[in-house]
Amino acid sequence: MSSVVIGTTISSNLVFAEIGEPEKEDLTFGFIKLTDMAPLAIAYEKGYFEDEGLYVTLEAQANWKVLLDRVIDGQLDGAHMLAGQPLGATIGYGTEAHIVTAFSMDLNGNAITVSNDVWSKMKQNIPHDSDGKPVHPIRASSLKPVIDELKAEGKPFNMGMVFPVSTHNYELRYWLAAGGIHPGYYAPSKGDVSGQINADAFLSVTPPPQMPSTMEAGTIHGYCVGEPWNQQAVFKGIGVPVITDYEIWKNNPEKVFGVSHSWAEENPNTHIRVVKAMIRAAKWLDEENNANRPEAVKILSKSQYVGADYDVIANSMTGTFEYEKGDKRDIPDFNVFFRHNATYPYYSDAIWYLTQMRRWGQIDQFKPDSWYLDIAKKVYRPDIYSIAVNELITDGVVEAADFPDLESETGFKPPQTEFIDGVTYDGRFPNKYLDSFSIGLKGKEDI
C-alpha cells in the first residue's frame, strides 16, 4: 500500500507546481505495426510530444521480443507493449527485467480469425438468425467438432498468437477453454515453454503482420491478433474473424506503454511528460464520438506507422468490424483509447494477466493473493499517471470529469461480469477467480 500513499501525496503536492524540465529530450520509442499504437503516432503528429519539450523518434520493431529486448538494453526509451510484457518480464518469465507502465494504451482491438476451410465446417454448428446471418458471439464449442475430426485423423489443430505473454495468447486460450477446448499448459520449471502440454489446440508464436500469410500457407488454421491483421484476412479472402476480444471480455485492457524501471527512475520528469502527451493523444482519438478517427486512420496508413491500406484500417477503427465478407457490424467500442477510463493503469488489469499466467502454468507454483497485488504495484504506476493527469487539468487541457477520482481510486475496477463464459472477475481475489475455471491450473496444482 505504501507506494500508493506516497504516490497520492506526491500528486496532491504537485497540483500547483509545474513539473521540471525533461531530463532527456531526445527519445526513441518502439512500436509494432498495429492500429493500437495510435496514441504514439497521434502524440507525434499532433505535436503533443513537442509541446512537452520532447523530441521523439518512433521506430517500428520486428517483433515483440526484439521490442522488449531493446527497451531492456536501453536502445529504446520506451515502447508500445503487450499488457502482459511488463508483468512477464518483471516476474522473470522470458527475459527478466523490471519494466513499469504508467499508461494503458487502449481497450479491446483484437479478434480471432480462422481459415476459410475451418469456418465452413464451424458454420454448420452455429445457429443463424432470421436474416441467415450467424448469431454472435460465436463460441469455441462450435469449433470443437472440427478439432475432434482432425484429431481422429491424427492431425494437429494449430493456431497462432503473437507472444507467450500476449493478451492474444490469453484471449485465445480463454475463448478456447470456455468452449471446452484445452489450449495446453506451460511448464517452465521443467523446461517446457511451448505451452502445448495436454493441448487440443496447439498454439505457437507468429509475429502480427505475418499472421495472414502464415495462415494462407497452411501452417496455422487460425490466429488471434490485433488489427488490421484480422480485417486483412477478410480483404484478402483467406479467412474469417469469428469473434472480437470485446465479446470475449468486454472492455479488456490491451496494450500499455512500458519503460524500464531504471529509465523511469532516472527520468521522472520526462516520464510524466510522455504520459501527458499520450493522454492528450488518447483523448483526441476518442473525442466527439470518434470524429477524429478518419484522420487517425489516414495517419496510421502511412508507411512509417501501420502502413496497411486506408480501407483495411478504417474497417475496425471507425466503429465497425467486418466478420465474414459482407457481414459488417457496428462495434463502436472495438478500439477504445480514452473513454471508459481506458488510459488508467488499473492494478486489477495487471492481476488479471497474472491470473492467466498462473492458469496456464507460466507461473508454475501457487502464489498467495498478496503476491498478485505486490507484483501489480511493482509494475503498474498510477502515481505517475495521476501526476500527469493533474498537470493536464491544471493546464486546462482536460477536465477532471474525464478521469476516475484520483484521490480515492483504489486501482481496482468493480467485479467484472461480462466474460464469454459468464465467470465473474474480482481482482482482489485472484485465487478464488482461478478456482472458478473448469480448465486451467488452480490452487496448489502443478504440471
153 Rama class: left (phi>0) / alpha (psi -120 to 50) / beta: alpha
Stretch (H or E) spanning 71: helix 64-72
- Closest to other proteins by CB, 18 vs 435, is 18
- Closest to other proteins by CB, 304 vs 424, is 304
CB of 398 to other proteins, least distance (A): 22
CB of 229 to other proteins, least distance (A): 8
CB of 49 to other proteins, least distance (A): 9
Cβ pair 416, 425 in contact under 8 A: yes
Cβ pair 301, 310 in contact under 8 A: yes
Rg (CA), the chain: 21
CB of 102 to other proteins, least distance (A): 22
Cα dihedral 348, 186, 176, 167, rounded to 10, equals 40
- Closest to other proteins by CB, 50 vs 399, is 50
CA distances for 346 relative to 104, 220, 250, 263, 381, angstroms: 8, 34, 15, 21, 9
Identify the burial level of 9 via C-beta atoms within 10 angstroms of its C-beta, where 0-12 means exposed, 13-18 middle and 19 or more buried: exposed
Q: Which amino acid is at 236?
A: K
CB of 209 to other proteins, least distance (A): 4
Contacting residues for 59 by C-beta, under 8 A, at least 6 apart: 28, 29, 30, 31, 76
- Closest to other proteins by CB, 31 vs 433, is 31
CB of 41 to other proteins, least distance (A): 11
Q: Round to whole Å and give the CA distance between 340 and 346.
A: 12
Cβ pair 85, 68 in contact under 8 A: yes
CB of 46 to other proteins, least distance (A): 12
- Closest to other proteins by CB, 25 vs 327, is 25
- Closest to other proteins by CB, 59 vs 402, is 59
Stretch (H or E) spanning 145: helix 144-152
Binding site for other proteins (CB under 8 A): 25-26, 33, 44, 47, 50, 53, 55-57, 59-62, 66, 73, 75, 209-210, 212-213, 216, 232, 236, 238, 301, 303-304, 306-309
CB of 238 to other proteins, least distance (A): 6
- Closest to other proteins by CB, 306 vs 351, is 306
Residue 69 sits at φ, ψ, to 5 deg, of: -60, -35
CB of 309 to other proteins, least distance (A): 5
Maximum distance among all Cα pairs of the chain, rounded to whole angstroms: 69
- Closest to other proteins by CB, 302 vs 432, is 302
Q: Round to whole Å and give the CA distance between 189 and 211.
A: 30
CB of 15 to other proteins, least distance (A): 22
- Closest to other proteins by CB, 65 vs 442, is 65
Q: What is the 3-state secondary structure (H, E, C) of 168-180?
A: HHHHHHHHHHHCC
Q: Round to whole Å and give the CA distance between 26 and 139.
A: 47
- Closest to other proteins by CB, 311 vs 435, is 311
Identify the burial level of 129 via C-beta atoms within 10 angstroms of its C-beta, where 0-12 means exposed, 13-18 middle and 19 or more buried: exposed
Q: Round to whole Å and give the CA distance between 414 and 416.
A: 6
